[in-house]
C-alpha cells in the first residue's frame, strides 16, 4: 500500500491533545457562558492540533470521486467534517472507520462512480459542504437538495450554482435566489467538449475550489475563469490544485484568475495522512505572546498549502521568537505559493516564545487577504499591541459564518478597545491593557470568534464567552485543550 505522509518526523507525547472522541466532550450549554481561564504564569505547553479541516474535506471529496477505496488517516472529526461525511454517505459513498479509530477512515466510492440522487444534503454551517458538494450532483442519478442551518441561508452560493448551470445542471431555489435552500438536477448529458465556465468568486475562494475538485470528471475537462474583483485566500486554491494533482488530476493556472483542468480518472494514493490544522493552531501559538512563555506544536509541516503556514512570520513581526525543531524559523512553511509540496520537507516541532519585553508589536497596515481565516486570532493580538493595526484585504469575511468584520469591531469595542470597520478590513486602535474591561463576549455561532474571545480572556480577567461549544465546528475539544495549555 502506498502512503503519503507529510509528517515524517516522530512527535513526542503531547501534553495537550484532542482525543478521538473529542466532539463528544462536555462543554457548557450555549446559554451558559464559559468563564475564560486566566494564565497563572508564563506558559510552557505542548499542544497537539487535530487534522486540517480544509484538507480533510478536500480529501473526502477526492476519495469519493475516485474508483477505489482510500484510507484517510489523521482526519479531523468535527461538525464540519461529520457534515461532509454525512453528505457523501447520502450520495452513496461508504465511509467506515479503520481499527476503531474515528480519525482513520476508509472511503469507498459508489459503484460505477454514479452518485445517488433524490436525497437531501444537510450543510449545517459548513462552507466546504455547501460549496464543494453541489458539483458532485453533476454525476448523480437524480436531483439533490441542499439546506443548512438558519444562519447558512445568508451565506452566498450563487457563483458555484451559476457555474453548475453553465455545465448544464438545473438549479431550483426554494428561498432567496442565490442562497440555500436549493436543488441541483444533473444534466441529461455532460458537455461534449471542454467546458468554459466563468464565475465571480470574489466573495469566497471556495467557489473556485468546488469546481476544481469535481472538474476532472467532466469528459473533456474545463476552462474556469474568475471575472470578479480581488480573489480572496488564494492559498486555499493552490491547496485544491495540489490535492487534485495528488489524485492524478492535471490543473494549471496559465494566467491569474484562469484555470485549465484536463479530464482525468482521479485516484488518491491508497493511504493519505492529513496535516494538523495550522489555522486552529493560531490561538494556541498566539497565547505565548499574550501570557508569555512558550507553546510548542508537533507535526508542523516544513512546507504547506495551508494559509495557516503564514502564521509564524506574522508572529515574528509581532515580536515573537519562532523555532522549528529547535532552530530559528526560516520561513519555509509560508503558504505563499512558492512551494506547494507538503511532503518535500517533512514535519517538525514549531515553538513560539513571547516577546522578551512582554510587548506585542502592532502590524500597521497589513494585507491578510491570503489568510483571512487568521484574522480573528491576529485581531486579538493586535488589540493587546503597542501600536495600531489595520488588517486589510479581508472584505470577504463579511460572508463567513457571520460578518466577522462587524463581529470583531463589536466585541473589541465591548472590552474598551478602539476598532472600526474599513471597506476591506478592520482598524484596531489598542489601549493600555489595564484599561480594558471584561465582558460577556458573543460568538455569533462562529468558531473563530469563540477562540478570539478566549485569547482576549488571557489578558482581561473575568471574560465570559457565550456558546463556547461552537468551537466544535473545527476544534471539538477546544475548552479542555485551552485549559490544559494554561497548566
Strand order in the sheet with 70-73: 3-4, 271-273, 70-73, 101-108, 94-98
Q: What is the pLDDT along the chain (487 residues), one digit of tens a residue?
A: 333 333 333 333 334 544 433 333 344 555 689 999 999 999 999 999 999 999 999 999 999 999 999 999 999 999 999 999 999 999 999 999 999 999 999 999 999 999 999 999 999 999 999 999 999 999 999 999 999 999 999 999 999 999 999 999 999 999 999 999 999 999 999 999 999 999 999 999 999 999 999 999 999 999 999 999 889 889 999 999 999 999 999 999 999 999 999 999 999 999 999 999 999 999 999 999 999 999 999 999 999 999 999 999 999 999 999 999 999 998 654 333 333 333 335 899 999 999 999 999 999 999 999 999 999 999 999 999 999 999 999 999 998 888 999 999 999 999 999 999 999 999 999 999 999 999 999 999 999 999 999 999 999 999 999 999 999 999 989 999 999 999 9
Q: Is 467 left (phi over 0), alpha (psi -120 to 50) or beta?
A: left
Q: 244-300 pLDDT, tens per residue?
A: 999 999 999 999 999 999 999 999 999 999 999 999 999 999 999 999 999 999 999
CA distance 387 to 80: 36
Three-class DSSP category at 427: strand
Grid cell of 75 as nine digits: 482526519
Partners of 337 in the beta sheet? none
DSSP letter at 267 equals -
pTM for this predicted structure: 0.86
DSSP letter at 113 equals G
Report strand pairing: 195-199 vs 251-255.
unpaired
CA distance 464 to 30: 12
Question: Active site includes 373?
Answer: yes
Catalytic residue among 373, 388, 401, 466: 373
Three-class DSSP category at 392: strand
Grid cell of 427 as nine digits: 482598524
DSSP letter at 377 equals H
Helix (H), strand (E) counts: the chain: 12, 26
**Predicted local distance difference test score (pLDDT) of residue 359:** 98
Total residue length of the chain:
487
**Element spanning 63, H or E:** helix 53-64
Grid cell of 97 as nine digits: 472507520
Label residue 223 exposed, middle or buried (CB < 10 Å: 0-12, 13-18, 19+).
middle
Grid cell of 178 as nine digits: 442565490
Task: Dihedral sign for Cα 287, 393, 402, 432, please.
Answer: positive
**Predicted local distance difference test score (pLDDT) of residue 29:** 53
Three-class DSSP category at 247: coil
CA distance 107 to 93: 7
Neighbours of 407 (CB within 10 A): 24
Q: Are 362 and 388 in contact (CB under 8 A)?
A: yes
Neighbours of 172 (CB within 10 A): 11
Amino acid at each position: 500500500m502506498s502512503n503519503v505522509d507529510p509528517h515524517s518526523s516522530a512527535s513526542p507525547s503531547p501534553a495537550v491533545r484532542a482525543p478521538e472522541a473529542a466532539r463528544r466532550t462536555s462543554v457548557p450549554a450555549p446559554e451558559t457562558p464559559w468563564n475564560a481561564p486566566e494564565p497563572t504564569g508564563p506558559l510552557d505547553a505542548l499542544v497537539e492540533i487535530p487534522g486540517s479541516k480544509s484538507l480533510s474535506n478536500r480529501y473526502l471529496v477526492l476519495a469519493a470521486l475516485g474508483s477505489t477505496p482510500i484510507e484517510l488517516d489523521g482526519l479531523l472529526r468535527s461538525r464540519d467534517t461529520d457534515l461532509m461525511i454525512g453528505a457523501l454517505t447520502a450520495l452513496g459513498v461508504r465511509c467506515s472507520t479503520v481499527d476503531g479509530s474515528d480519525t482513520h477512515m476508509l472511503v469507498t466510492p459508489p459503484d460505477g462512480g454514479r452518485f445517488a440522487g433524490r436525497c437531501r444534503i444537510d450543510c449545517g454551517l459548513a462552507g466546504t459542504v455547501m460549496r464543494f458538494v453541489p458539483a458532485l450532483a453533476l454525476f448523480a442519478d437524480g436531483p439533490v437538495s441542499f439546506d443548512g442551518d438558519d444562519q447558512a441561508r445568508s451565506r452566498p452560493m450563487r457563483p458555484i450554482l451559476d457555474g453548475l448551470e453553465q455545465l448544464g445542471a438545473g438549479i431550483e431555489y426554494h428561498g432567496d435566489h442565490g442562497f440555500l435552500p436549493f436543488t441541483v438536477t444533473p444534466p441529461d448529458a455532460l458537455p461534449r467538449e471542454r467546458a468554459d465556465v466563468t464565475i465571480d468568486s470574489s466573495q469566497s475562494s471556495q467557489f473556485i475550489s468546488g469546481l476544481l475538485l469535481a472538474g476532472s470528471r467532466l469528459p473533456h475537462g474545463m476552462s474556469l475563469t474568475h471575472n470578479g474583483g480581488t480573489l480572496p485566500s488564494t492559498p486555499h486554491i493552490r491547496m485544491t490544485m495540489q490535492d487534485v494533482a495528488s489524485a492524478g488530476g492535471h490543473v494549471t493556472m496559465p494566467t491569474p484568475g484562469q484555470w485549465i483542468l484536463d479530464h482525468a480518472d482521479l485516484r488518491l494514493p491508497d493511504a493519505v495522512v492529513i496535516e494538523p490544522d495550522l489555522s486552529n493552531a493560531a490561538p494556541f501559538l498566539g497565547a505565548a505572546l499574550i501570557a508569555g512563555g512558550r507553546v510548542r506544536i508537533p507535526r508542523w509541516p516544513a512546507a504547506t498549502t495551508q494559509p495557516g503556514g503564514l502564521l509564524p512570520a506574522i508572529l515574528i513581526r509581532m515580536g515573537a521568537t519562532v523555532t522549528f525543531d529547535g532552530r530559528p524559523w526560516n520561513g519555509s512553511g509560508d503558504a505563499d505559493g512558492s512551494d506547494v509540496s507538503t511532503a518535500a520537507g517533512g514535519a517538525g516541532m514549531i515553538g513560539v516564545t513571547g516577546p522578551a519585553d512582554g510587548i506585542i508589536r502592532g502590524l500597521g497596515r497589513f494585507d491578510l487577504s491570503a489568510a483571512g481565516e487568521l484574522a480573528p486570532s491576529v485581531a486579538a493580538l493586535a488589540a493587546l499591541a503597542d501600536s495600531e493595526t489595520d488588517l486589510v484585504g479581508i472584505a470577504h469575511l463579511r460572508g463567513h459564518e457571520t460578518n466577522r468584520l462587524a463581529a470583531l469591531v463589536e466585541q473589541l469595542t465591548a472590552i474598551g478597545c478602539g476598532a472600526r470597520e474599513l471597506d476591506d478590513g478592520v482598524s484596531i486602535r489598542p489601549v493600555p491593557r489595564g484599561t480594558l474591561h471584561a465582558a460577556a463576549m458573543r460568538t455569533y455561532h462562529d468558531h473563530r470568534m469563540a477562540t478570539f474571545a478566549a485569547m482576549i480572556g488571557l489578558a482581561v480577567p473575568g471574560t465570559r464567552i457565550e456558546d463556547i461549544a461552537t468551537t466544535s465546528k473545527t476544534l471539538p475539544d477546544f475548552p479542555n485543550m485551552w485549559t490544559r495549555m494554561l497548566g
